[in-house]
Amino acid sequence: MSWYRNAVWFVKGLREYTRGGYESASKHFNPADVEVDVAGRCFLVTGANSGIGKATAKEIARRGGTVHLVCRNKERAEVAKEEIVAETGNQNIFLHIVDISNPKEIWKFAEKFRNEHKLNVLINNAGCMVNNRELTEDGLEKNFATNTLGTYIMTTALLPLLEKAADARVITVSSGGMLVQKLNISDLQSGSGPFDGTMVYAQNKRQQVVLTEQWAKAHRNIHFSVMHPGWADTPAVRSSMPDFYERMKNSLRTEAQGADTVLWLAVSAEVTKLPSGLFFQDRQPVPTHLPLASTHSPPEDEEKLMEVLEEFSQKFKSTCPG
């Protein structure tokens, strides 16, 4: 059935995920939802030096929020910070250099951050699509390390801070590609069989949806959401999916259009009227499974994913200096 899932997803994408889909959906948006002042609220955005992360950070800064940019590349991050400050006039923009594929770095950062800052909203945007199987210095497959384990550790490490915050939220940027994947906990690091970076990425994005649903059940005073930004023209898409980019470049969303729902989830009062743990596209909750796609997984698999990630998490926490 994988051919069926892929075909349905692509047809759905051509209709909904492109710039035309955004323009159609946005006719029903209420502009007042995001015309808000968030001065005094603190936001952390991972992968914030380009693409959807930077576009989100910039719009939050325009609305007066304190924004913590978490980026891997220091030079590009400093350029992004300068641009955000210059365009918004907001000086409360702070930069942290962290490699989200490195669990020990995340733990070290999060423990320091918890002691020095407050946090209202965490936006897990950092991600990667590595098309050949590549291991990190810790021996982790890089897509899994960044997209799944990195997201898990960053979130769980900052939960104590979020638990103390007013109107706390966690937003994770996933992908509609996850619709073609059923949760597979037997090979989390894609070590068996041929390696397909696009499908590994889609599996990671399915894992992020499951994480969000599980966190929502466990942490009732934090609002969790996960979203699909549509197909946007970002540096990551250009570098990781060059053939797709060439084919679709005239139909791709802008970075700001891709970031719109992230911003809405981060700042709108309407969001918390909806249940925690939902998957969003263009400011609307949408199903996490295609019709007839057989991508539902048993609860015990979802619980096992959380257990395995917690084991990984604690292993790297225990080796974290300090």
134-164 residue pLDDT tens: 999 999 999 999 999 999 999 999 999 999 9
As a whole number, mean pLDDT of residues 6-25 equals 79
As a whole number, mean pLDDT of residues 105-115 equals 97
Cβ(62)–Cβ(90) below 8 Å: yes
Cβ(194)–Cβ(250) below 8 Å: no
Domain coordinates in residue numbering, the chain: 3-314
Percent of the chain with pLDDT over 90: 84
Catalytic: 201?
Answer: yes
- Average pLDDT of the residues of the chain: 94
Percent of the chain with pLDDT over 70: 94
- The Cα–Cα gap between 153 and 149 comes to 6
Please count the other Cβ atoms lying within 10 Å of the Cβ belonging to residue 207. 26
CATH architecture under which domain 3-314 falls: 3-Layer(aba) Sandwich (3.40)
**Nearest one of 183, 227, 171, 223 to 207, comparing CA atoms:** 183
Q: Which residue out of 17, 22, 152, 201 is catalytically annotated?
A: 201
Is residue 262 predicted with pLDDT exceeding 70? yes
Q: What's residue 111's pLDDT?
A: 96
Q: What's residue 14's pLDDT?
A: 65
Q: Quick check: helix, strand or coil at residue 79? A: helix
